[in-house]
Amino acid sequence: MVILTLNCGSSSAKYQVYDWANKDILAVGVVERIGLEYSTIEHKANGKEEYHAEFSSPTHKEAIELIIRMLLDEEYGVIKDLKEIGAVGHRVLHGGEVFKQSALVTDEVIEQLKKVIPLGPLHMPANIMGIEAARKAMPDVPQAIVLDTAWHQTMPDEAFMYAVPYEWYTKYNVRRYGFHGTSHLYCAKRAAVVLGKENKDTNVIICHIGNGASVCAVKNGVCVDTSMGLTPLEGLVMGSRSGDIDPAIIPYMMENTGMSAREMDTALNKKSGLIGLCGKSDRRDVLKASQEGDHRAKLAIDMECRRLKKYIGGYATLLDGKLDAIVFTAGVGEMARHVRLGACKGLEAIGAKLDEHKNDVCFSRNGEFEISTDDSVVKILVIPTDEELVMTEDAYALMNGTYDVHTNFHYTFEEKTYVNKGRERDLKKNLVKNPELASILAIPR
Question: Residue ranges of the alpha helices (H) in 120-237?
Answer: 124-137, 157-160, 167-172, 181-195
Ligand-binding site membership of 211 (annotated): yes
Cα angle, residue 48 at apex, residues 44 and 50 outer, rounded to 5°: 40
Query: Annotation-wise, does 283 bind a ligand?
Result: yes
Query: Which residue, 289, 248, 250, 244, is CA-closest to 267?
Result: 250
209 is in an annotated binding site: yes
Residues 202 and 326: their CA atoms lie apart, in Å, by 11
* b (16+ CB within 10 A) / e for 122-156: bbbbbbbbbbbbbbebbeebbbbbbbbbbbbbbbe
| Per-residue confidence (pLDDT) for residue 9, from 0 to 100 | 81
pLDDT score, position 277: 97
Is 91 annotated in a binding site? The answer is yes
Q: Is residue 445 over pLDDT 80?
A: no
pLDDT at 121: 81
Question: Is residue 387 annotated as involved in ligand binding?
Answer: yes
Q: Which of 116, 70, 78 is nearest to 97 (CA)?
A: 116
Q: Which amino acid is at 67?
A: I
Q: How far apart are CA 238 and CA 423, in angstroms?
A: 27
Q: For residue 202, what pLDDT is reported?
A: 97
- The pLDDT confidence band at residue 417, using thresholds 50, 70 and 90, is confident
Q: Is the pLDDT of residue 110 over 90?
A: yes
- The answer on pLDDT for 217 being more than 90 is yes
pLDDT value at residue 60? 86
Average pLDDT over residues 227-245: 96
Q: Taking 80 as the threshold, does the pLDDT of residue 10 lie above it?
A: no
What would the DSSP string read from start to end of 341-381? HHHHTTGGGGTB-B-HHHHHH---SSS-EE-B-TT-SBEEE
**Taking residues 162-182, what's their average pLDDT?**
96
Q: How confident is the model at residue 365 (pLDDT cuts 50, 70, 90)?
A: confident
393 is in an annotated binding site: no
263 is in an annotated binding site: no
Of the candidates 38, 31, 36, 33, which has an alpha carbon nearest to the alpha carbon of residue 16?
31
Residue 148 falls in the annotated catalytic set: yes
Active-site pick, 19, 148, 324, 355: 148
Do the beta carbons of residue 60 and residue 129 sit within 8 Å?
A: yes
Q: Which domains does the chain have, with CATH numbers?
A: 2-147 (3.30.420.40), 198-383+435-440 (3.30.420.40)
**Helix 295-316, helix 337-344: angle, nearest 10:** 50
Mean pLDDT computed over every residue of the chain: 94
Report H helices in 73-123.
107-115
pTM of the entire structure?
0.94
Would you state the torsion angle of the CA atoms of residues 260, 263, 268, 273, taken in this order, to the nearest 10 degrees?
A: -140
pLDDT score for 428: 84
Strand partners, 328: 207, 382
- Angle (CA) 232-219-242 rounded to 5° is 20
Structure confidence at residue 416 as a pLDDT band (50, 70, 90)? confident
Taking each continuous run of H as one helix and of E as one strand, the counts in the chain are 16, 14
| pLDDT tens-digit map of 31-70 | 988 888 899 999 999 889 999 999 998 988 899 999 999 9
- In this prediction, residue 372 carries a pLDDT of 98
Phi and psi at residue 69, in whole multiples of 5°? -60, -40
Band of the pLDDT at 137, cuts 50, 70, 90? confident
Judge whether 85 and 141 are in contact, CB under 8 Å.
yes
Of 120-129, 178-187, 368-377, 397-406, which range is least confident?
120-129
- Using the predicted structure, report yes or no on whether residue 122 has a pLDDT greater than 90: no
The pLDDT score that the predictor gives to residue 61 is 87
Residue 212 labeled ligand binder = yes
Report d(CA 53, CA 30) in Å as an integer: 11
Percent of the chain at pLDDT > 70 equals: 100
